Chain A
Amino acid sequence: MTPYLKIDHIDKSFTRGAFTTDVLRDVSLNVEQGEFVSIIGHSGCGKTTLLNIVAGLVPITQGAVLLENREVNGPGPDRAVVFQNHSLLPWLTVYDNVRLAVDKISAGTRSRSDRHQWTMHNLELVQMAHAKDKRPAEISGGMKQRVGLARALAMEPKVLLLDEPFGALDALTRAHLQDSVMAIHQKLGNTVLMITHDVDEATLLSDRIVMMTNGPSAHIGEVLEVPLPRPRRRLELAANQTYLKCRQRVLEFLYERHSFVEAA
């Protein structure tokens, strides 16, 4: 059986003038449908580049990305991205930001009232329906990220790509949003690929954690299964042996075997 999402021997290098920097070398990863996979690594290891490659925003130097056996060669709503800095359009209201995506995805297939319903449904899913008439500047960082998530979910993507979605948030807001993401994943069964640099976040949310070595020429160092049953509860896991063991493995990988070299 072929995997749902297949990242097949990807190389990526950036060329600037006479200089060529190898960012990724020989990265291969299979993701099954409904799976939640996190990619973790130190900053500069090319994990965001990898996500952008899957999103189709960055061209591949060598190799291929296959989604349901079809090669990906350009961005599209079947691989919706929740960007690190929300990327909401500031001149549109919360509702209109999501509606823009809904209108574009379902033009011709859904009626006007259906599109309205679908927009509201997704805003309710992230608990943002109450702020639908506000502009992005009028809501908090966590709320913006929720709206960004609603916009991505509204596209009904085959793979949901999260690019350090909680990186810019404070710890409490982040925990709150992680719970929301878990609940939504539980409910909708999305296939999710998430970039993170937070060990707890990766362990809590993922079915598998992909650990990247340091760049340049970064590759996948280790893949760890997180065999914890769902739904997972943050408080119960704090003392769970499996959770702690997984967390320990990731920490060891990041800080012992592939510790960050500042000068690199």
Chain B
Amino acid sequence: MSAFPAGTKIMQAPAVKTEAAIALPNGASVLPLGLSKRKQASSWLATRTRAFAASVIPPLVVIALTLIIWEILCRRAGAALPPPSRVLKETWELIVDPFFDRGGIDRGLFWHLSASLQRVALGYALAATVGIALGTLVGQSVWAMRGLDPLFQVLRTVPPLAWLPLSLAAFRDGQPSAIFVIFITAIWPIIINTAVGIRNIPQDYRNVAAVLRLNHLEFFWKIMIPAAAPYIFTGLRIGIGLSWLAIVAAEMLIGGVGIGFFIWDAWNSSHISEIILALLYVGLTGFVLDRIVAGIAHIVTRGTTAN
């Protein structure tokens, strides 16, 4: 009933507008409009530029200052480490061509990094799969927790490299040993965080699942994993960081292609500049890995934490 008068009102409105537009002189209405639009656009640009500058300038200043101090300190005769200018000069070939491959270990940095990343990808994927499964078991079953938790608490304190000799003895090869070291390093935070997440699933969700009669598999995928996702991703993020820490150390010992061995090899041939460049690359790669996992976590856990 009320729709009809409302409709008539709407029909009247455009008529009034056209009249107003005709009544106004053309130039008078267009000019101020255009001006204010341009003003708006320029002020928008200004705020964006200011925001960009605010986030970019401080790190640039700090980096520049660090480089200057470093340059001053290492420029003197008899300095043990090269100044940044010399690092750049000596590693220029490595920087501009990361893809050369002269066989053996004489390869560009891209190949070393990619070899390390492949090991990490394999070991980390294994750790994530086994870690989430074990974490779920420990979080869900009191008996599994009582049995396994003491073991976990002791084993997780073993430093990554301490596992290497044992895994070399077991696998008799560098490659699987390195992957195992990644696996055993990354798995503990994943297990522990997953277990905490599972244990913290609110009783309400369990009641909902019970009323709906979800079976174990449905409960796992539809309630447990999403409910524990924020915890699981905390574990995964710590895990990826530890993996990257461990691989560099492990590669120094097992040799072959890999960024860790590249650093060790550079030290043996006294190419200090190459070590510095490699450290920079290791840092940047670790940063990117962490961002990737954080990004996935952000997408997956959207809405989970807010209640």
The one of B213, B218, B222, B306 that contacts A90, using a Cβ cutoff of 8 Å: B306
B225 nearest CB across to chain A (Å)? 10
Bound-state Cα–Cα, A31 to B223, Å: 33
Tell me the A residues contacting B by CB distance below 8 Å.
55-57, 74-77, 79-81, 83, 85, 87, 89-91, 100-101, 104-105, 135-137, 155
Bound-state Cα–Cα, A256 to B208, Å: 38
Name the CB-closest residue of A to B210.
A75
Contact partners of B301 in chain A: CB under 8 A: 91
Bound-state Cα–Cα, A167 to B117, Å: 55
Contact partners of B214 in chain A: CB under 8 A: 104
Q: What 6 new A-B contacts, CB under 8 Å, besides A81-B207, A104-B212?
A: A76-B211, A91-B301, A91-B304, A104-B218, A135-B306, A137-B307
Bound-state Cα–Cα, A105 to B229, Å: 26
> Could you write out 24 A-B pairs with CB less than 8 Å apart?
A57-B210, A57-B211, A74-B210, A75-B210, A76-B211, A76-B213, A77-B213, A81-B211, A83-B207, A85-B204, A87-B204, A89-B222, A89-B223, A89-B226, A90-B305, A91-B226, A91-B303, A91-B304, A100-B212, A104-B212, A104-B213, A105-B212, A137-B303, A137-B306
Q: Given A104-B212, A104-B214, are A87 and B207 neighbors across the interface (CB < 8 Å)?
A: yes
Name the CB-closest residue of A to B300.
A91
A163 nearest CB across to chain B (Å)? 10
Produce 1/0 per residue, B273-304, CB < 8 A to A. Answer: 00000000000000000000000000001111
Contact partners of B302 in chain A: CB under 8 A: 91
Bound-state Cα–Cα, A57 to B203, Å: 11
The one of A76, A77, A90, A104 that contacts B307, using a Cβ cutoff of 8 Å: A90
Q: Given A83-B204, A90-B303, A90-B304, are A77 and B226 neighbors across the interface (CB < 8 Å)?
A: no
Contact partners of A155 in chain B: CB under 8 A: 211-212
Bound-state Cα–Cα, A173 to B182, Å: 55
- Assess whether B211 is in contact with A79, with CB atoms less than 8 Å apart: yes
Residue B205 at the A interface, CB < 8 A? yes
- Assess whether B211 is in contact with A80, with CB atoms less than 8 Å apart: yes
Name the CB-closest residue of A to B212.
A104
Q: Given A89-B226, A90-B303, are A57 and B207 neighbors across the interface (CB < 8 Å)?
A: yes
Name the CB-closest residue of A to B215.
A104
Produce 1/0 per residue, B253-274, CB < 8 A to A. Answer: 0000000000000000000000
B117 nearest CB across to chain A (Å)? 31
Name the CB-closest residue of B to A84.
B204
Contact partners of A101 in chain B: CB under 8 A: 212
Tell me the B residues contacting A by CB distance below 8 Å.
204-205, 207-208, 210-214, 218, 222-223, 226-227, 229, 301-307
- Counting chain B CB atoms within 10 Å of each CB, the highest count among A74, A87, A91, A135 belongs to A91
Name the CB-closest residue of B to A148.
B208
- Assess whether B304 is in contact with A77, with CB atoms less than 8 Å apart: no
The one of A76, A79, A89 that contacts B208, using a Cβ cutoff of 8 Å: A89
- Assess whether B210 is in contact with A136, with CB atoms less than 8 Å apart: no
Bound-state Cα–Cα, A79 to B205, Å: 16
Contact partners of B304 in chain A: CB under 8 A: 90-91
Bound-state Cα–Cα, A77 to B207, Å: 11
Bound-state Cα–Cα, A74 to B229, Å: 29
Q: Which 9 A-B pairs have the closest CB atoms?
A: A137-B306, A87-B204, A75-B210, A91-B226, A91-B304, A135-B303, A104-B212, A75-B211, A91-B303
A154 nearest CB across to chain B (Å)? 11
Bound-state Cα–Cα, A76 to B212, Å: 6
Bound-state Cα–Cα, A84 to B64, Å: 59
- Assess whether B212 is in contact with A77, with CB atoms less than 8 Å apart: yes
Bound-state Cα–Cα, A89 to B208, Å: 9
- Assess whether A89 is in contact with B210, with CB atoms less than 8 Å apart: no
Bound-state Cα–Cα, A80 to B213, Å: 11
Contact partners of A56 in chain B: CB under 8 A: 210
Contact partners of A91 in chain B: CB under 8 A: 226-227, 229, 301-304
Bound-state Cα–Cα, A81 to B203, Å: 14
Bound-state Cα–Cα, A251 to B137, Å: 51
- Assess whether B213 is in contact with A100, with CB atoms less than 8 Å apart: no
Contact partners of A90 in chain B: CB under 8 A: 303-307
Contact partners of B305 in chain A: CB under 8 A: 90
B298 nearest CB across to chain A (Å)? 13
- Assess whether A100 is in contact with B211, with CB atoms less than 8 Å apart: no
Contact partners of B211 in chain A: CB under 8 A: 55, 57, 75-77, 79-81, 155
B219 nearest CB across to chain A (Å)? 11
Bound-state Cα–Cα, A91 to B208, Å: 14
